[in-house]
């Protein structure tokens, strides 16, 4: 087995609609390939059956490209890491089956990785563009499938302090965008229009949850729907003429919901080191609000490099690296899991 100083990890991410393959040399990224599946756009959301088929088509070219870009051969690899869950089962099966066969063929260890842990540990990728958090810290993990506030004590010990009771924050962005007639995924488009809009032009209600640290986003989607229906009846061109302000107001409400919970968790735990992770952390409004909170509340914030926020295999690889150091391997009987806690 390779010594601690020269571990080459090949990582595979296939939990949803992006096929990711990355090669790491210890905690540094040598290549990070993401094959995005365009097919889902025409359906306005991810179609699980089509996602699995597209993973089958993309996985071999993505692995070949990642090895080529990294400038190494498969025989140099020390370990194969893959996404074990949570995610779409058919998609996970493609990555996990491939990872198992490859590890078996090369006679090297296999490591199953929790996708949500990976979003958080992406902060530990050794890259000049991001700073590495000090333990303990809090992480607001916001993606298309999850919304959680997590307390991180070390690389492996994580506790969920609050989470969504219904839609994930990414879904709140995407479903609101769909109501406005924007294509999937609508999150980045809401972000784009919101930059020119007035967040106070319209008012959307904020939810109340039994546990004040939990989130709920399904009410926002419904209120956006009723609002648009009401306004369009009066003026059929309402959405087109007010798209910037509507997007700014929706984004503002989402950020208020997130920040409200985050501030409560900081107060409760006394931990002022706050990270964000997941695809929605690419949102410019969230990034700006967090940077402002650093000044206003004396927080230390950690904002990941853009390419490590949306689904990617580099984040799977960094967890693989730490698990390799801890000798936490999976055996070939490991099966992917649609649901998986830390
Ligand atoms: O983490 P991710 O790539 O996949 C999941 O694990 O779900 O997150 C995808 C989500 C989508 O809902 C997408 O609309 C959202 O992240 N997203 C954004 C932005 N960029 C991606 N939402 C708001 N603003 C953005 N700039
Ligand atoms: Zn994700």
For the beta carbon of residue 115, count every other beta carbon within 10 angstroms: 25
Q: Write phi, then psi, for 175 (nearest 5 degrees).
A: -70, -40
| Ligand 2 centroid – CA 116 distance (Å) | 7
| Ligand 2 centroid – CA 160 distance (Å) | 16
For the beta carbon of residue 207, count every other beta carbon within 10 angstroms: 17
Please answer whether residues 58 and 313 qualify as being in contact, where contact means their C-beta atoms are separated by less than 8 angstroms: no
* Of 277, 283, 288, 289, nearest in space to 318 by CA: 277
- pLDDT at 2 exceeding the cut of 80: no
Note the pTM of the prediction, 2 decimals. Answer: 0.94
Per-residue pLDDT reduced to its tens digit, 273-327: 999 999 999 999 999 999 999 999 999 999 999 999 999 999 999 999 999 999 9
246 lines ligand 1 (CB under 6 A): no
Sign of CA dihedral 209, 213, 219, 224: positive
144 lines ligand 1 (CB under 6 A): yes
| Ligand 1 centroid – CA 46 distance (Å) | 13
Per-residue pLDDT reduced to its tens digit, 41-59: 777 777 888 888 988 999 9
State residue 4's pLDDT score: 58
- Give ∠ CA 99-103-109 in degrees, rounded to 5: 110
The two structure tokens encoding residue 154? 């070390």
Question: Nearest ligand, CA of residue 194?
Answer: 1
* Start-end of H helices in the chain: 48-70, 89-106, 115-121, 169-179, 187-194, 218-234, 238-269, 284-297, 314-325
* Of 158, 152, 130, nearest in space to 307 by CA: 130
Q: Which residues pair with 18 in a beta bridge?
A: 36
Per-residue pLDDT reduced to its tens digit, 65-105: 999 999 999 999 999 999 999 999 999 999 999 999 999 99
Q: What residues have a C-beta under 5 A from ligand 2, the ion?
A: 143, 311
Which of 119, 169, 173, 180 gets mutated to test ligand 1 (max ligand atoms within 8 A of its CB)?
173
Please answer whether residues 145 and 86 qualify as being in contact, where contact means their C-beta atoms are separated by less than 8 angstroms: yes
286 lines ligand 1 (CB under 6 A): no
174 lines ligand 1 (CB under 6 A): yes
- pLDDT at 184 exceeding the cut of 80: yes
Question: Nearest ligand, CA of residue 143?
Answer: 1
- Give ∠ CA 218-18-106 in degrees, rounded to 5: 135
Token match 């959680």: residue? 148
The two structure tokens encoding residue 73? 């051969």
Per-residue pLDDT reduced to its tens digit, 211-246: 999 999 999 999 999 999 999 999 999 999 999 999
State residue 41's pLDDT score: 77
Per-residue pLDDT reduced to its tens digit, 317-340: 999 999 999 999 999 999 999 999
């Amino acid at each position: 087995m390779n010594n601690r100083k020269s571990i080459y990890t090949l990582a595979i991410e296939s939990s949803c609609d992006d096929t990711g393959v990355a090669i790491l040399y210890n905690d540094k990224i040598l290549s990070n390939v993401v094959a995005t599946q365009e097919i889902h756009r025409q359906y306005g959301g991810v179609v699980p059956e089509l996602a699995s088929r597209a993973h089958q088509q993309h996985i071999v070219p993505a692995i070949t490209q990642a090895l080529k870009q990294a400038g190494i051969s498969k025989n140099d690899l020390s370990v194969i890491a893959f996404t074990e869950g949570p995610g779409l089962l058919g998609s996970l099966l493609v990555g996990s089956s491939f990872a198992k066969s490859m590890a078996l063929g090369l006679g090297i260890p296999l490591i199953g990785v929790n996708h949500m842990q990976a979003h958080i540990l992406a902060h530990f990728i050794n890259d000049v563009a991001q700073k590495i958090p000090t333990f303990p810290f809090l992480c607001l993990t916001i993606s298309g499938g999850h919304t959680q506030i997590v307390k991180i004590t070390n690389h492996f010990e994580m506790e969920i302090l609050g989470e969504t009771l219904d839609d994930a924050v990414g879904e709140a962005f995407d479903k609101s965008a769909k109501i406005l007639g924007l294509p999937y995924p609508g999150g980045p488009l809401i972000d784009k229009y919101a930059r020119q809009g007035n967040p106070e032009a319209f008012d959307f209600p904020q939810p109340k949850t039994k546990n004040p640290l939990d989130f709920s986003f399904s009410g926002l989607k419904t209120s956006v729907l009723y609002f648009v229906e009401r306004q369009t009846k009066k003026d059929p061109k309402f959405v087109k003429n007010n798209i910037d302000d509507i997007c700014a107001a929706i984004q503002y409400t989402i950020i208020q919901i997130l920040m409200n919970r985050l501030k409560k968790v900081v107060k409760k735990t006394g931990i002022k080191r706050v990270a964000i992770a997941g695809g929605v952390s690419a949102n410019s409004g969230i990034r700006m609000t967090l940077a402002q909170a650093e000044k206003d509340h004396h927080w230390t914030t950690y904002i990941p490099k853009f390419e490590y926020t949306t689904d990617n295999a580099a984040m799977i690889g960094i967890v693989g690296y730490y698990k390799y150091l801890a000798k936490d391997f999976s055996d070939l009987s490991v099966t992917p899991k649609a649901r998986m806690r830390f």
